[in-house]
Amino acid sequence: MKIIKRNGAEVSFDVQKIISAVRKANNEVSVDNRLSEDQINTIAEKVSALAGDLNRAVSVEEIQDFVENQIMDQKAFAVARKYITYRYSRALVRKANTTDERILTLIECNNEEVKQENSNKNPTVNSVQRDYMAGEVSKDLTRRLLLPRDVVEAHEEGIIHFHDADYYAQHMHNCDLVNLEDMLQNGTVISGTFIEKPHSFSTACNIATQIIAQVASNQYGGQSISLTHLAPFVDISRRKIRAEVAEELADVAVMEDTINRIAEKRLREEIKKGIQTIQYQVVTLLTTNGQAPFVTVFMYLGEARNEREREDLAMIIEETLNQRIQGVKNESGVWVTPAFPKLIYVLEEDNVREGSRYWYLTCLAAKCTAKRMVPDYISEKKMLEYKVDRNGEGHCYTCMGCRSFLTPYLDENGKPKYYGRFNQGVVTINLVDVALSSGGDREKFWKIFDERLELCHRALMCRHNRLKGTLSDAAPILWQYGALARLKKGEKIDKLLYGGYSTISLGYAGLYECTKYMTGKSHTDPDAKPFALSVMQHMNDKCKEWKAMHNIDFSLYGTPLESTTYKFAKALQQRFGIIPGVTDKNYITNSYHVHVTEQIDAFTKLKFESEFQQLSPGGAISYVEVPNMQDNIPAVLSVMQFIYDNIMYAELNTKSDYCQVCGYDGEIVTVEEDGKYIWECPYCHNRDQSKMNVARRTCGYIGTQFWNQGRTQEIRERVLHL
């Protein structure tokens, strides 16, 4: 069994430390109030058993809570007072400096909490450590100076989660849709250098990667770009290449068709090199936060403005899919699955049925999904139903990063606008805690729910007000040079924070466990489903109320819990103990999802979750867990066609692993050792994480740097839906 110390370091459990601590408190009271040695040993044994029952690494604070309770159970109240007093005095000493020890253990790679915080950051790398060090300082400032005390306490207790506190001290926003079209067509400035409109497709791709890196370094969330914005440069290259070929063959009698055929072949090569530039630069670039840019690439034929552009866009999409199917080489020279860029493919009438014009692209996308877990799929049909503007017209567009969606918006000319917009930030409510705090009383539940939502409302306004007054000079690439706006130097970004131009997100987690506790049933049960839907509707109503109050687009967001799923689970166990079916896991369920252990088929799951996804307009994604589908592409296509007809945004989760020790390329599994989940090659039993490549869908995006124990247990317990 492992213990997590206050500085984040993980050590082996030592029962003698409990005995020693109780003895010290025991020796400070009068003889007639003291515990016997047998009682002290009993306390130690019971604490050991309670910690072991949690089936995870236990924090020092949890151990101390267990000790206090066990001393009380022995009726040794004088000893308990001494123990509590000593614990309190040590806590006061620690409060004098909250960051030094955590930073030092981080640098020495002993901080298990930080090491497992982000599945796409390698905590042994200097650039990541530097970002984490800055993050620890930012969190300390945020806790002590920048946020109201009740918000901080609720965050620390796991009642809510104030996301990205490690960036809150700076005036930074969450995620966005990069206006790549404006930057490429009208020029931009990078590091003080003016970048003109590119004169070829390959140059446009190269500039795009530089823009991606700059944007990633000036925000903390995901960004999305559209391949449509690169498509016009294909024809620019075509004309340029054709002129070169014609000049080369000027002295040779050749047909016009021959010149065109040679030019088109060279154009294909340029497209290949351009897409290769994007793929390899994205996975090899390190931004200032120590990771590859969290970027999503959007592939939507319906965005093309004319027939030529549509055909060129199809070529770009085809090349993008082919290169992702191939993957990237790891340090051993083996082709593996990269985490980024994330790909999204739009299913539409022109590509979703056999015999449709771009069916070949959809078949390629299915092959890519089976091999590399991407692309994810947006149904144009369902999105046009859901994302309707004030004039009643539907729109189809990409999310920002892994799932955060903007609300429909029309500019001053009445035209739809999505690229250049952003999200201000997220605060998530722990729905399971609301339910457990009510004790199952429905009237009390709604009262506590409203109190917690108001707390989230105030916390979200803290996020908004932190951005308010920010000068465009804080991030010129974003606010001055086209990624999000073309503001003047010294101009405030305030006008972009109101009127629906940007959004701010109320996140939620644990709808399944909340419903399970309040009704005794899963929300998939017809008797429990109405309660679950009423919870979702209530949060939407609150967002609408706040929007009217502030003229800010509050939007309900299905939080992609990564490390927070473990944090919430531990907090619930500390506050309410182990409740079967509710708090007996080291994770809670993401957003509205069906519980990962529930037996349900892919089509039933997607159909059921579609109702909840519609009530999560600020962002949500559904998934189905599938086995290796590389030899069953027709089944993948069937799921994709079902997505098109039934749900707006979904993905298929498979496995894509490789053992560098023995060359095994099947599924790397988890085994339990000393109360901890360890990744192991089933063939050679290699357990060295530095010598294996494991890729898993974490919560809407692919993680490749391993996960905390809560998320690892959740991945381990997922059942197949197909």
Please, which residues have CB within 8 angstroms of residue 669's CB and are 6 or more apart in sequence?
Answer: 679, 680, 682
Which string of b and e fits 47-71 if b means at least 16 CB within 10 Å? bbebbeebbbbbbeebbbebbeebb
Is the distance from CB of 407 to CB of 490 less than 8 angstroms? no
- What pLDDT is recorded for position 150? 96
Instruction: Give the model's pLDDT for residue 253.
Output: 76
The sign of the CA dihedral 564, 129, 142, 406 is negative
Q: Check pLDDT > 70 for residue 106.
A: no
Neighbouring residues of 371: CB distance < 8 A, sequence distance ≥ 6: 325, 327, 337, 630, 656
Is 404 one of the annotated active-site residues of the chain? yes
Cβ neighbours of residue 143 under 8 Å, at least 6 residues apart?
A: 98, 152, 156, 165
Determine contact, residues 629/654, Cβ cutoff 8 Å. yes
Confidence at residue 446, expressed as pLDDT on a 0 to 100 scale: 98
Give which of 565, 563, 626 is closest to 591, Cα–Cα.
Answer: 565
Q: Kindly state the average pLDDT of the residues 11-39.
A: 89
Q: Is the model's pLDDT at 116 over the cut of 80?
A: no
Residues forming beta bridges with residue 678, ordered by sequence position: 671
> What pLDDT, in 10s, does the model give residues 377-426?
999 999 999 999 999 999 999 999 888 999 999 999 999 999 999 999 99
pLDDT tens for each residue of 265-295: 999 999 999 999 998 888 877 655 656 788 9
Task: List the catalytic residue out of 557, 592, 658, 701.
Answer: 557
Structure-token pair, residue 661: 């020790």
Task: Determine whether 229 is exposed, middle or buried from the number of CB atoms within 10 Å of its CB (0-12, 13-18, 19+).
Answer: buried
Q: If pLDDT is split at 50, 70 and 90, which confidence band does 140 have?
A: confident
Backbone angles phi, psi at 695, to 5 degrees: -120, 125
Average pLDDT of the chain to the nearest whole number:
91
Task: Name the active-site residue from 423, 437, 472, 502.
Answer: 423
Residue type at position 659: C
Q: Would you call 562 a catalytic residue per the annotation?
A: yes
C-alpha to C-alpha distance for 636 and 722, rounded to whole angstroms: 10
User: In the predicted model, is pLDDT for residue 83 greater than 90?
Assistant: no
Q: Among residues 7, 237, 404, 502, which one is catalytic?
A: 404
Q: Could you say which of 299, 368, 383, 400 is catalytic?
A: 400
Burial of 547: CB neighbours in 10 Å, binned 0-12, 13-18, 19+: middle
Task: Kindly state the DSSP code that residue 174 receives in the 8-state scheme.
Answer: -
- Residue 65, pLDDT > 60, answer yes
Closest CA to 490 of 502, 474, 468, 467: 474
The predicted pLDDT at position 102 comes to 63
Asked if residue 84 has pLDDT above 90, the reply is no
CA distance 624 to 177: 26
Q: Could you say which of 373, 402, 640, 659 is catalytic?
A: 402
Least confident range from 66-80, 93-107, 441-455, 656-670: namely 93-107
Backbone angles phi, psi at 398, to 5 degrees: -85, 160
Handedness of CA 34, 36, 39, 45 (dihedral sign): positive
Instruction: Calculate the alpha carbon distances from 237 to 267, 300, 684 in Å.
Output: 7, 21, 50
Residue 619 clears pLDDT 90, i.e. is over it: yes
Q: What is the DSSP string of 520-569?
A: SS-TTSTTTHHHHHHHHHHHHHHHHHHHHHHS-EEEEEE---SSHHHHHH
Query: What percent of the chain has pLDDT above 90?
Result: 68
End-to-end CA distance of the chain: 36
* Helix or strand run (H / E) with residue 58: strand 58-59
Output the pLDDT for position 81.
86
Q: Amino acid identity, residue 73?
A: D
Does residue 134 register a pLDDT over 80?
no
pLDDT in the model for residue 288: 55
Catalytic residue (one of 133, 172, 175, 315)? 175
Per-residue confidence (pLDDT) for residue 128, from 0 to 100: 67
Q: Is the confidence at residue 589, as pLDDT, over 80?
A: yes
Catalytic one of 700, 701, 710, 714: 700
CA 125 – CA 321 distance, rounded (Å): 31
- Distance, CA of 484 to CA of 503 (rounded, Å): 14
Using DSSP's 3-state secondary structure scheme, residue 430 falls into strand
651: pLDDT strictly greater than 90:
yes
Q: Is the dihedral of CA 97, 99, 100, 102 positive or negative?
A: positive
Q: What is the pLDDT of residues 204-249, one digit of tens each?
A: 999 999 999 999 989 999 999 999 999 999 999 999 999 999 999 9
Give the least confident one: 57-71, 111-125, 232-246, 469-483. Answer: 111-125
* pLDDT reported for residue 137: 78
Averaged pLDDT for residues 458-481: 97
Residue 328's beta-bridge partner residues? 336
Check 303, 562, 625, 680 and give the catalytic one: 562
Chain centroid, CA 201 distance in Å: 31
Contact 278, 204 (CB under 8 A): no
> What pLDDT, on the 0 to 100 scale, is given for residue 127?
65
557 is catalytic: yes
pLDDT in tens, 497-543: 999 999 999 999 999 999 999 999 999 999 999 999 999 999 999 99
The confidence score (pLDDT) of residue 210 equals 94
175 is catalytic: yes
310 pLDDT above the threshold of 70:
yes
Q: Give, for 189, the enclosing helix (H) or strand (E).
A: strand 188-190
Share of the chain above pLDDT 70, in %: 92
Neighbours of 46 (CB within 10 A): 17
The residue to which tokens 């069953």 are assigned: 632
**Residue among 499, 385, 348 nearest 395 (CA):** 385
String of DSSP letters for 342-369: EEEEEE-TTTSSTTSTTHHHHHHHHHHH
Question: Contact at 8 Å (CB) between 478 and 504?
Answer: no
pLDDT for 110 equals: 56
Q: Band the pLDDT of 114: cuts 50, 70, 90.
A: low
For the cut 70, the answer to whether the pLDDT of residue 105 exceeds it is no
Which residues, including other chains, have CB under 8 Å from residue 45's CB and lie 6 or more apart? 15
The answer to whether 174 is a known catalytic residue is: yes
